[in-house]
Amino acid sequence: MKPLVPVSTGARIVLGAGFFVVFVAFWGAATWSGWVPPLFLASPERTLLAGWSLLTEFGFAGDIAITVFRVVGGFLIAAAAGVPLGLMMGAFKPVEAFFEPFISFARYLPASAFIPLLILWAGVGEAQKLSVIFIGSFFQVVIMVALIAGATRMDLVEAAYTLGARSRGILRRVIIPAAAPQVMETLRLVLGWAWTYVIVAELIGATSGIGHMIMDSQRLLDTGQMIFGIVVIGVIGLVTDFLFKALNRRLFPWAVL
Amino acid sequence: MSRKRLAITGVTRSFAGHRGAAPMLALRPIDLMVEPGEFVAILGPSGCGKSTLLRIVAGLDQPTGGTVTLDGVPVTAPGPDRGMVFQSYTLFPWLTVAQNIRFGLAERGVPEAEQQAIAARFIARTGLTGFENHWPRQLSGGMQQRCALARALANDPEILLLDEPFGALDHQTRELMQELLLEIWDADRKTVLFVTHDIDEAIFLANRVVVMSARPGRIKAEVPVSLPYPRDWTMKTTPAFATLKARLMGEIREEVRKAAMA
Ligand SMILES: Nc1ncnc2c1ncn2[C@@H]1O[C@H](COP(=O)(O)OP(=O)(O)OP(=O)(O)O)[C@@H](O)[C@H]1O
Ligand SMILES: [Mg+2]
C-alpha cells in the first residue's frame, strides 16, 4: 500500500462489501455460540425473520414511509430556508453580523431537548416531528452555507467585477455557482443527521414510524425487531447518500468531486 | 482602437501596519500618462508594487493619495471599460470556455446571438477553436490565460490591464503567447498596460517600457522602444534589441539587488 494511491472500482466494492461480511460474521459468532443470550442480542437470521414478519404482518412498510416522509419533509424545509439565508450571510457581511451570533448560539441547542416543548406547542402530530428535524438541521445548514459562500475565491469575484458585474451579478453568477457543490455536500451530511433527530422524535410521543416500532419492540423484548429497525435506517441512509453523490456528479461535472 | 487617455497622477498606496506596526508604503507617487493605443510595459522587481498599481487602475484597490483618470473621468470602481487578465488563473471553473468568454457580455445584457458571434470571433483569434465546450480544468495553463485574454477582449474594453499573464508559463509557450498577443493588439490597437519582470518580454511587446524601483515603487526610468511593428521572434536577435536590453538590465539590476536585500 502506498499513501494516497487510488483504488480501482472493483477492488473498492469487494473491500467495502468485505467488511459487512466480517461484521455479520462476528455478530453471528457472538450469538450462535450462546456467548450473548438472545434476550440481549438476536442472531442475524432471527433479525431477518423478525423483519420479515414486521413487513408482512405488522405493516412496517407504512412506518418506514412515514419516517422517510418526516425526514425528507423536515430536511427540505430546513434547506429551503437555510440555504438562501446562509448564502446572504456569506455574501453580505452586515447580514452575517446580524444573524451569526444568534445562529451560532442556536445551533448548540439540542433539538431533542425541544421535544417536550414542541409536544406542548404542536401536539404529537406531524408538525411536531417536522419541527424537531427543522430545529436540528436549519441552524447547521445556515452556518455551514455561510462559511462556504464567505470563502468564495476573491480573485474570481474581482475578475467578475472587471468584466462589469455588480453586486447582483457577483452573487448570482459567482458566489452561488462557486458554492453550489459544497453546499450540496453539506446538505448530504445534514440529511444524515436529520435521521438521528427523527428517531429521537419518534421514540417519544409517536404512534407510527421506525422509532415508534423500536420503542414498541423494547416493551416486548424483541431484540430482533429492534435491530431490524436500526438496520433499515442504515440501509436507507446508505442509499440516499449514494443517490446524493450521483446527483452531485451530474450537477457539477466541472468540479472534481 | 482605443480613444481614451489614461492619466495616473501622484498615486501612492500604503498598507496599514499589522498590529500597530508603522504603515507599509508600497507605492511612492507615480505619474504616468498613457496615450490611446499605446502598449506600455511596466517592468520591476518582485514586490515593487506593480500589481498594486494595476489594481488601482482597474478600480479594485483605492490609492492612498493621487488620482487615476480615464479621459478626465476619475476611476473609482472596477468596470468593463478596463479589462484585466490576472497573474493567477481566474477562469470561472463552472463555465465552459465559451461561457467564460461570454460572461461580461451576458452581464451587460447583450443579445444571445451577438454573444455567440463575439465569443466565436475571440475563440478563433486566441486559437481556442475546438475547446469551446471544455471546462477550465481541462485546459493547459497557456490555454487558460488565452481564454482569460479572450474573456477580457470580448467586452471591448478601452484599456487592457495585463498582470504578468504569462508569468506561470514555460519559456517556449510564453514566447508563442507574446506573438499571439501582439497580433491581437496590432489588429485593433487597444491601450495596453502590461506588467512583467521579464526584460525581453517588455521590449518585445511594448512601445514604451516603464521601469519601477524596488519597494516602495516609483518610476525610475521610461525607455521608448522604437522597434517597428509587426514584430516577430527574429527581432529578439537584432542589435537594436540587444542595446535596449543592455540599458534596461542596467536600470533593473540595481533594483533587483535592493529588493533581494530588503
Ligand atoms: N492587501 C495588502 N496588504 C498588505 N500589503 C500588501 C497588500 N497587497 C500588496 N501588499 C504589499 O505591497 C507590496 C507590493 O505588492 P505587489 O503585489 O503590488 O508587488 P508586485 O510588484 O506585483 O510583485 P510580484 O512581481 O511578485 O507580483 C508588497 O510588499 C506586498 O507585500
Ligand atoms: Mg504582482
pLDDT in tens, A49-73: 999 999 999 889 999 999 999 999 9
**Which residue is closest in CA terms to ligand 1's atom 3?**
B15
Grid coordinates representing B32 are: 504616468
Q: How many angstroms is it from B50 CA to the middle of ligand 1?
A: 8
Residues B147 and B157: their CA atoms lie apart, in Å, by 16
Predicted confidence at residue A256, as pLDDT, reads: 73
Residue A241: CB atoms within 10 A of its CB come to 14
pLDDT at residue B261 is higher than 80: no
Residue B204: CB atoms within 10 A of its CB come to 24
Ligand 1 atom nearest the C-alpha of B49 is: 18
Residue A28 within any structural domain of the chain: no
Q: Which tens digits make up the pLDDT trace of B166-179?
A: 988 899 889 999 99
How confident is residue B227, by pLDDT bands cut at 50, 70 and 90? very high
pLDDT at residue A83 is higher than 90: yes
Chain A residues within 8 A of B77 when measuring between CB atoms:
161
Predicted confidence at residue B1, as pLDDT, reads: 66
Residues A135 and A114: their CA atoms lie apart, in Å, by 9
Predicted confidence at residue A124, as pLDDT, reads: 83
B239 contacts: CB under 8 Å, gap ≥ 6: none
Predicted confidence at residue B256, as pLDDT, reads: 81
Residues B92 and B103: their CA atoms lie apart, in Å, by 9
Measured in angstroms, the CA of B15 and the nearest CA of chain A are apart by 18
Residues B29 and B44: their CA atoms lie apart, in Å, by 16
What is the SS3 assignment for B107? helix
pTM score: 0.90
Residue A56 within any structural domain of the chain: no
Q: Could you tell me the CATH number of the domain that includes residue A131?
A: 1.10.3720.10
pLDDT (mean) for B180-194:
93
Class of residue B16 by CB neighbours under 10 A (exposed 0-12, middle 13-18, buried 19+): exposed
Which residue range forms the structural domain that includes residue A145?
A: 69-209
pLDDT (mean) for B74-94:
95
Least confident of A53-57, A161-165, B81-85: A53-57
Residues B198 and B210: their CA atoms lie apart, in Å, by 12
Interface of A with B (CB under 8 A): 155-156, 158-165, 169, 173-174, 177-178, 180, 252-256
pLDDT at residue B251 is higher than 80: yes
Average pLDDT of chain B to the nearest whole number: 92
Average pLDDT of chain A to the nearest whole number: 92
Residue B152: CB atoms within 10 A of its CB come to 27
How confident is residue A34, by pLDDT bands cut at 50, 70 and 90? confident
pLDDT at residue A257 is higher than 60: no
Q: Say if the ipTM goes beyond 0.90.
A: yes
Counted domains in chain A: 1
Predicted confidence at residue A213, as pLDDT, reads: 92
**Which residue is closest in CA terms to ligand 1's atom 8?**
B52
**Which residue is closest in CA terms to ligand 1's atom 20?**
B47
Q: Which tens digits make up the pLDDT trace of B33-80?
A: 999 999 999 999 888 999 999 999 999 999 999 999 999 999 999 999
Q: Which tens digits make up the pLDDT trace of A111-147?
A: 888 888 888 888 888 899 999 999 999 999 999 999 9
Residues B161 and B184: their CA atoms lie apart, in Å, by 14
Residue A90 within any structural domain of the chain: yes
Is B55 a pocket residue for ligand 1 (Cβ < 6 Å)? no
Nearest ligand for residue B26 CA: 1
Is B62 a pocket residue for ligand 1 (Cβ < 6 Å)? no
Query: Nearest 5 degrees, angle CA A161-CA A162-CA A166?
Result: 30
Q: Which tens digits make up the pLDDT trace of A7-17?
A: 999 999 999 99
